[in-house]
Amino acid sequence: MLLRESVWKLSKLRAAVLWLLLVSACAISARPETAAFDLIGPKVDVRVQRGGKTLPIAEVPNLQAGDRVWVHPNLPDSQSVRYLMGIVFLRGATNPPPENWFTRVETWNKAVREEGVYVAVPDEAEEAIVLLAPETGGAFNTLRAAVRGKPGAFVRATQDLLQASLDRARLDRYLDAVRETSASDPDQLKAKITLLARSLNIRLDQQCFDKPTAQQAPCLTQNTDQLVLDDAHSQNMVATLTTGAPTDLLAQLSSTPTARGGYYSPYIGAVVDVVRILGTAHSAQYQYIPALALPKHDELNLKLNNPPSFRDPKSVLVIGLPPVRPTLPPPLRAVDAAQISCLSKPDLVLTADGAPLVYATEMAHNFVLHVENGSGETRSGEKQSGAGFDLPAKPDPARGGFAIENHSMPASALDGEITGVLRGNWGFGLFDGPHFRLRVSRAGQWTVASKDASVLIVGREDTLHIKSYDASCVSEVLVRDEAGKQASVEWKAAKPDELEVKVPLQNASAGSLKMLVKKFGLHDPDEIPLHTYAEASRLDSFSIHANDSDGVLKGTRLDEVTSLEVNGMTFNPENLSRANQQDELRLVSHDPLVTAAFDAGVPIVARVTLMDGRTLDLNAFVEPPRPKLALLSKNVQAGASDIPPMIHLGNPEELPQDARLNFFLKSQMPEAFPPAEKVEVATADEAFHVVLSVKDGNLTLQDSKTVFAVLDPMKLLGPSAFGPLKFRPIGSDGVEGDWQPLMNLVRVPELKGVHCVPSAKATETNAAEKAPSSEKGTSSAKTEENCQLTGDNLFLIDAVSADPDFTGAVTVPDGFVDAALSIPSPKGKTLYIKLRDDPATVNTAVVPMVSSQP
Q: Write the pLDDT tens digit of every residue in 471-486.
A: 889 999 999 988 888 8
What pLDDT was estimated at residue 457?
A: 79
Note whether residue 6 is domain-resident.
no
Q: Helix, strand, coil proportions of the chain in percent (round to 5)?
A: 25, 40, 35
- pLDDT tens column, 236-267: 766 543 333 333 333 333 333 333 333 344 44
Tell me, yes or no, whether 571 and 642 share the same domain.
no
Contact, 828 vs 845, CB < 8 A? Answer: no
* Pick from 359, 432, 394, 426: nearest CA to 172: 359
Contact, 754 vs 831, CB < 8 A? Answer: yes
Tell me, yes or no, whether 798 and 784 share the same domain.
yes
Tell me, yes or no, whether 713 and 819 share the same domain.
no
Tell me, yes or no, whether 277 and 132 share the same domain.
yes
Last residue of a domain, one of 498, 514, 532: 532
For the whole model, what pTM was predicted? Answer: 0.59
Total tally of structural domains belonging to the chain: 7
Note whether residue 327 is domain-resident.
no
What pLDDT was estimated at residue 230?
A: 72
Note whether residue 549 is domain-resident.
yes
Alpha helices in 706-750 (DSSP H): 713-716
In this predicted structure, the answer to whether residue 74 has a pLDDT above a threshold of 70 is: yes
Q: 488: domain CATH number?
A: 2.60.40.10
Distances in Å between the alpha carbon of 410 and those of 344, 366, 390, 391? 11, 20, 10, 10
In this predicted structure, the answer to whether residue 536 has a pLDDT above a threshold of 70 is: no
What pLDDT was estimated at residue 444?
A: 82
Tell me, yes or no, whether 646 and 499 share the same domain.
no
> pLDDT-derived band of residue 410, with 50, 70 and 90 as boundaries?
confident
**Alpha carbon distance 674, 676 (integer Å):** 5
Tell me, yes or no, whether 635 and 714 share the same domain.
yes
Q: For all residues of the chain together, what is the average pLDDT?
A: 82
Last residue of a domain, one of 746, 781, 807: 746
Note whether residue 17 is domain-resident.
no
**Alpha carbon distance 199, 803 (integer Å):** 108
* Pick from 649, 624, 627: nearest CA to 707: 627
What pLDDT was estimated at residue 16?
A: 41
Note whether residue 158 is domain-resident.
no
Note whether residue 649 is domain-resident.
yes
> pLDDT-derived band of residue 80, with 50, 70 and 90 as boundaries?
confident
* Pick from 289, 296, 297, 340: nearest CA to 315: 289
Range of the domain at 249: 163-260
Note whether residue 11 is domain-resident.
no
Helices (H) and strands (E) in the chain, counts: 14, 51
What pLDDT was estimated at residue 273?
A: 54
What pLDDT was estimated at residue 387?
A: 64
In this predicted structure, the answer to whether residue 357 has a pLDDT above a threshold of 60 is: yes
Distances in Å between the alpha carbon of 125 and those of 66, 85, 131, 163? 10, 19, 17, 19
- pLDDT tens column, 295-339: 999 999 998 888 888 888 888 999 999 999 998 889 999 999 888
Task: Report residue 698: phi and psi, to 5°.
Answer: -95, 5
Tell me, yes or no, whether 508 and 560 share the same domain.
no
Tell me, yes or no, whether 231 and 304 share the same domain.
no
Q: Give the bridge partners for 544, in sequence order.
A: 551, 622
What pLDDT was estimated at residue 565?
A: 93
Bridge-based pairing state of the strands 486-488 and 474-481: antiparallel
- pLDDT tens column, 546-578: 988 899 999 888 888 999 999 889 999 998 887
Q: 579: domain CATH number?
A: 2.60.40
Last residue of a domain, one of 260, 278, 294: 260
Contact, 424 vs 364, CB < 8 A? Answer: yes
DSSP 514-529: EEEEEETT-SSPEEEE
- pLDDT tens column, 124-165: 999 999 999 998 877 888 889 889 988 988 898 888 888 888
Tell me, yes or no, whether 500 and 351 share the same domain.
no
Winning range, highest mean pLDDT, from 207-211, 481-485, 548-552, 825-829:
548-552
**Alpha carbon distance 708, 664 (integer Å):** 5
| CA angle centred on 105, ends 99 and 106, rounded to 5° | 135
Helix (H, G, I), strand (E, B) or coil at 80: coil
> pLDDT-derived band of residue 27, with 50, 70 and 90 as boundaries?
very low
Tell me, yes or no, whether 432 and 513 share the same domain.
no
Residues contacting 106, CB < 8 A, separation 6+: 82, 84, 85, 112, 135
Tell me, yes or no, whether 300 and 381 share the same domain.
no
> pLDDT-derived band of residue 613, with 50, 70 and 90 as boundaries?
confident
> What is the H or E stretch that residue 213 is in?
helix 213-220
* Pick from 803, 827, 818, 811: nearest CA to 778: 811
Number of other CB atoms surrounding residue 387 within 10 Å = 8
Tell me, yes or no, whether 73 and 126 share the same domain.
yes
What pLDDT was estimated at residue 680?
A: 95
Note whether residue 12 is domain-resident.
no
| CA angle centred on 593, ends 591 and 597, rounded to 5° | 115
Q: What b/e readout covers 792-820, taking b as 16+ CB neighbours within 10 angstroms?
A: eebbbbbbbbbeeebebbbbbeeeeeeeb
